[in-house]
A and B are shown apart, each in its own frame.
Chain A
Amino acid sequence: MTEAVIRRTASGKMRIDCVDKNRSAGFFLIGIAVLSTLGFLYLDIPWSKMLARVPQMGIVFWKLGHFDFSNFDLIGSALLETISIAVLSTIYSLILSLFFGMLAAENIFKCRVLSSAVKAFFTFLRAVPTPVWVLLMMICIGMGPSAGIAGLCVHTTAFFTRAFAQSFEAVPSETIEALQSAGASKVSVFLNAVLPSATPELVAWTGMRFEINFSECAILGMVGAGGIGYVISTHIEGYEYGTAGLAIFCVFAIAFCIERAFIWIKSKQRAC
């Protein structure tokens, strides 16, 4: 056996870090530096022109800031449509993902092949961005909110399945064992022990994703899935900055409210 020796730096100070260091962080930073340089060179950004346009930006924001309330009924109905799309897509995905999450979690059916297959499938779905899914759905079922819901559902389900599976896997195996040893079936163990244990986390994921879906809806409107995004893009194109500004502000206000609401729900959950 080798003698234990205190490691010191060149200046004689005692070292306290591990011998075999994990160098991945260093490689990561170097990689980022190299990639950003390459990106910068490839895109050839005209910085001088951009700087010259900064005052223009100020003017646009100034115009957006002068809210025009004359089209408020239009904005209101578009907002309602957007919220409905966000709510429905989140709820449908939630239900689907409870099922797929159960299959994807390795500690429920204890079948590696099944969970790996489900996870791989949803990783593929997640790799394709939401607007692309919405465009694909529009080809299938036509323009409008239903395409938005379907497209959002694909991505949200893929996201939830992975997140939920992770939450299910975090439930201690002893808890599962306790019900298993009482003779409960796998689905029964899932519904009676795993799901209740993971509920607070599921609520947190749902809140987070609902917020994302709401803002995502704003973008989806621009590709033709209806809602507030459509109102924003048409009014900007028509130089009606007042209406567009009000719509943008409403999106902000609602997103903020959603976040506060879920923080409140979480604090209630912890209290009881």
Chain B
Amino acid sequence: MEPILTFDHVTKRYGNGVCALKDVSLSVRPGEFISIIGPSGSGKSTLLRSINKLISTTEGNIFFDGENVSALRGGRLRKNRSKIGMIFQNYNLVYNLSVLQNVLHGRLGHMSGIRGILGLYPEEDKEKAWTLLEEMGLEKFCYNKAGSLSGGQKQRVGIARAIIQDPKILLCDEPIASLDPSSAKVIMDLLKSTAQKRGIPCLVNLHQVDVAMRYSTRIIGLHAGEIVFDGEPESLSDSVLERIYGTSVTNLVAGTSDEKDWQQAYAV
């Protein structure tokens, strides 16, 4: 299958001289569920955020859906962004608005002119938001303020907001870092099932190697801005983990892929 996203020798240098991405090349195909792992500061967020140009890169090209992202500006950039769903660690909802309104925010990029500005959503979008919230098990909370939900519920709203965009790719920046193990499992399951059902490829930044092993079809390991591993979860050996995290496996809190450990940690 044609890749939907391609990184072609991408380098990102920040103003302070930090090189957050070094000559990164990769491609993503529909249906993939890719976890990006790496120590803090290795450039995971930078990689994800350069895809929708929340951060602009220094060198190299990023091709998404046949367009060179680095060259996009204004309306074309917004059009491109509307095809990319993003899920955040801190959910980033508008807490004063209802759950439904928050989900519908995902449609704003598809609406032009005054309707988009004033948030006058078509009826079919509203119906769709409702169905999605049902899928997330949140139909009871549709008319509640988003701020009154629990962390796990907020993240489910975040997923619905991203899915309603009809995205061609989902970017998730540490979607479970603020959640307890059981809600984390719910979120990962939902993320995987909703994405797989629609054939949307997912790029997920994760701090938990065990979660990455369990859900991914492919794992990318970053170390100091460089890809040091790119392959199936099965081939992620201890020596590779040591290269990614730059320390012995015994120093990693959750470095094992042991099924039993995982079940203990995520016992519901």
Name A's B-contacting residues (CB within 8 A): 172, 174-175, 177-185, 187-189, 191-193, 196-197, 199-200, 272
- The distance in angstroms between the C-alpha atoms of A122 and B268, with both chains bound, is 57
**A185 contacts B81, CB within 8 Å?**
no
**B117 contacts A180, CB within 8 Å?**
no
**Which residue of B has the minimal Cβ distance to A200?**
B96
**B119 contacts A181, CB within 8 Å?**
no
Known contacts A187-B117, A188-B117, A188-B119; A182 and B96 CB within 8 A of each other: no
Known contacts A192-B108, A193-B105, A196-B97; A181 and B86 CB within 8 A of each other: yes
- Greatest chain A CB density within 10 A among B52, B85, B92 is at B92
Name B's A-contacting residues (CB within 8 A): 52, 54, 78-86, 88, 90, 92-97, 105-106, 108-110, 116-119, 145, 161-162, 165
**Which residue of A has the minimal Cβ distance to B92?**
A178
- The distance in angstroms between the C-alpha atoms of A199 and B165, with both chains bound, is 26
**Which residue of A has the minimal Cβ distance to B162?**
A182
**Which residue of B has the minimal Cβ distance to A181?**
B86
- The distance in angstroms between the C-alpha atoms of A106 and B203, with both chains bound, is 31
B119: A residues at CB distance < 8 A:
188, 191-192
User: Quick one: which of A172, A178, A272 contacts B105, CB cutoff 8 A?
Assistant: A178
- The distance in angstroms between the C-alpha atoms of A197 and B109, with both chains bound, is 20
- Greatest chain B CB density within 10 A among A183, A185, A188 is at A183
The dominant DSSP class at the A interface is: helix
User: Quick one: which of B95, B117, B161 contacts A182, CB cutoff 8 A?
Assistant: B161
User: Quick one: which of A175, A184, A193, A200 contacts B116, CB cutoff 8 A?
Assistant: A184
**B78 contacts A183, CB within 8 Å?**
yes
**B108 contacts A175, CB within 8 Å?**
no
**A174 contacts B90, CB within 8 Å?**
yes
B145: A residues at CB distance < 8 A:
272
**A175 contacts B161, CB within 8 Å?**
no
Which 10 interchain pairs have the tightest Cβ spacing? A183-B109, A183-B82, A178-B92, A184-B108, A183-B81, A183-B78, A174-B92, A181-B86, A182-B109, A196-B96
- What are 25 inter-chain pairs, A to B, with CB distance below 8 A? A175-B93, A175-B94, A177-B54, A178-B88, A178-B93, A178-B161, A179-B105, A180-B54, A181-B52, A181-B84, A182-B109, A182-B161, A183-B78, A183-B81, A184-B108, A185-B78, A185-B108, A188-B116, A188-B119, A191-B118, A192-B94, A196-B94, A197-B96, A200-B96, A272-B145
**Closest-CB distance, B180 to chain A (whole angstroms):** 21
A272: B residues at CB distance < 8 A:
145
A183: B residues at CB distance < 8 A:
78-83, 108-110, 165
User: Quick one: which of A174, A175, A180, A182 contacts B106, CB cutoff 8 A?
Assistant: A182
A175: B residues at CB distance < 8 A:
92-94
